[in-house]
Amino acid sequence: MTLKNAINFFESLEAETNRKSEKKVYQEFVQIITSLQKKDLPESDIQSIETELDNFNLKSNSVNRKNIIKKRLMILKNI
């Protein structure tokens, strides 16, 4: 998943929900990914981040999507 696709994905999730707590999580993801885009990272680092986003399996239609995404957010913060 490219960084741009990830931003679009989280923005669409934010638009779909009415829950403030979910919106906050999605906005935080967008903020982190946007800040990564603005940095002058080497292509290898960008590819590593994109691979990690793919490994998160964010697009799965799980009942506990919010919990899964919150856990993935914590992992992303620690990268």
Q: What is the pLDDT of residue 75?
A: 83
16-23 LR contacts (CB < 8 Å, sep 24+):
19/66, 21/66, 22/66
Count of structural domains within the chain: 1
Domain hosting residue 35, numbered range: 3-77
pLDDT in tens, 5-62: 999 999 999 999 999 999 999 999 999 999 999 999 999 999 999 998 998 887 776 6
Q: What is the pLDDT of residue 62?
A: 66
Instruction: Check whether 70 has a pLDDT greater than 90.
Output: no
Residue 73 — pLDDT band, cuts 50, 70, 90? confident
